[in-house]
Amino acid sequence: MRKLYFFLLLFTTFLSAQEKTETTALDVQYFRGNVLPHTDDLQHFLQGHPDGVLISLYKKTYGHQEWERAFNYPDYGGYFIFQDFKNDILGKVYGVGAHYNFYFLNRKVQFKIAQGVAYTTDPHDKENNSKNFAFGSKIVANTNFALNYTTPIVDRFELKAGLLFTHFSNGRIKAPNSGVNSYGVNLGITYNFEEPLERQIDTLPKVKFTEPLKYNLVLRTGISENPIIGSGQKPFFHPAFYIDKRISRKSALQLGTEVFFTNSYKEFIKFQSIAYPEENVTADTDYKRAGVFIGYELFINRISLEAQVGYYVYQPYKSDIPIYDRVGMKYYITKKMYTGLSIKTHIFLAEAMEFVMGVRF
């Protein structure tokens, strides 16, 4: 028995001696706004003002790791979102995912980036919901951006208000998939479960970060369906090679080239050649494409955010504009290997949700 007491005393002493490096907070926000129609077939969705709730549970950082000091002590955690589009066609969505909060202007302004998945209650159905060209599947990707002003009100509570942008799309895994963007205002309350800790001082703000050119081999793959509903899902492969150059402790610029083997285009080309002979598209038109792109990567711990803009230098079948763009998130398994997800679009129209595997050397 004495040995047990001694062990418990040792264990308690060990726990109390551990330095606390983070605190926990919860915020609940109500939002209301409008659907942003980016295609003509979304005009009939403008019947009401979508509203919903965004709930975030997260950790506040205090600079005990270098990346926390570099990004002005951000928050990170998970979120739940509910949005009612106030529209019988679109229905409602429920989503979960991960997010970061970044702070500016003496920590009065908070910028939230959130990425996850969502469940739609009323996706396209040719018999019961044929007008829903936004969601072709029950499971879709969800991206949110919020810009808030935050201020303490009483005890551990804070008030925040600002602007919120939401996006829901399945990345054309299944047609139709116009996706839905909405914008609006939000108002919320934050509760801090613990007292704030002392922030560690950043000792590297003026140290110049240098790194040689890095070379990347990337394979982006997944499944997609062409715009014809019910045409079937086909695999695609988007291999790429690019060079990146770190320009600071946070950022890198990219320059590269890639090839697109999008198998769903084969069936679409055949359909177009038969259904629209006036377009002068032949059934044997090459479905492959090649592009060059420039990009930017923001490094946050093992996670990085990526944005690219490209131009097709080879595009025999011109169903889309020659300019494309991509946004994504990567996770570095090691310093040289990474995985992730990205969305390739033509302006607002998604072409593919890509699973990423890459090597940086």
Please report which confidence band the pLDDT of residue 177 belongs to, taking 50, 70 and 90 as the band edges.
confident
> How high is the pLDDT of residue 52?
97
pLDDT (mean) for 128-141: 90
Q: Report the amino acid identity of residue 156.
A: R
Indicate if the pLDDT at residue 319 is higher than 90. Answer: no
Q: Which has the higher per-residue pLDDT, 46 or 33?
A: 33
pLDDT at 17 over 50: no
Q: What is the pLDDT of residue 183?
A: 95
Cβ count within 10 A of residue 210: 7
Task: Render pLDDT for 270-286 as a digit per residue (tens, 0 to 9).
Answer: 888 888 888 788 888 99
- Output the average pLDDT for the chain: 90
pLDDT of residue 342: 95
pLDDT at residue 172 in the model: 87
For the segment 277-314, what is each residue's pLDDT rounded down to a tens digit? 887 888 889 999 999 999 999 999 999 999 999 999 99
pLDDT of residue 2: 52
Average pLDDT over residues 317-325: 91
Residues forming beta bridges with residue 11, ordered by sequence position: none
Lowest mean pLDDT: which of 101-110, 230-239, 345-354? 345-354
Question: CA 302, 304, 309: angle at the middle one, nearest 5?
Answer: 160
In the predicted structure, residue 97 carries a pLDDT above the cut 70: yes
Q: For residue 33, what pLDDT is reported?
A: 95
- Residues 146-159: tens digit of each pLDDT: 999 999 999 999 99
d(CA 42, CA 238): 30
Cα dihedral 315/319/325/331 (nearest 10): -90
How much is the pTM? 0.87
Where does the pLDDT of residue 36 fall: very low under 50, low under 70, confident under 90, or very high at 90 and above?
confident
CA distance 171 to 137: 10
pLDDT score for 11: 39
State yes or no: pLDDT of 14 exceeds 90: no
Task: Pull the structure tokens for residue 361.
Answer: 């050397």
Per residue in 218-247, pLDDT (tens digit) is 999 999 998 888 888 999 999 999 999 999
Residue with tokens 């910028």: 111
Through-space distance between the first and last CA atoms of the chain, rounded to whole angstroms? 57
Which of the listed ranges 13-22, 239-248, 346-355 does the model predict with the highest average pLDDT? 239-248
Tokens (6 digits) for 123: 């996706």
pLDDT band per the 50, 70, 90 thresholds, residue 171: confident
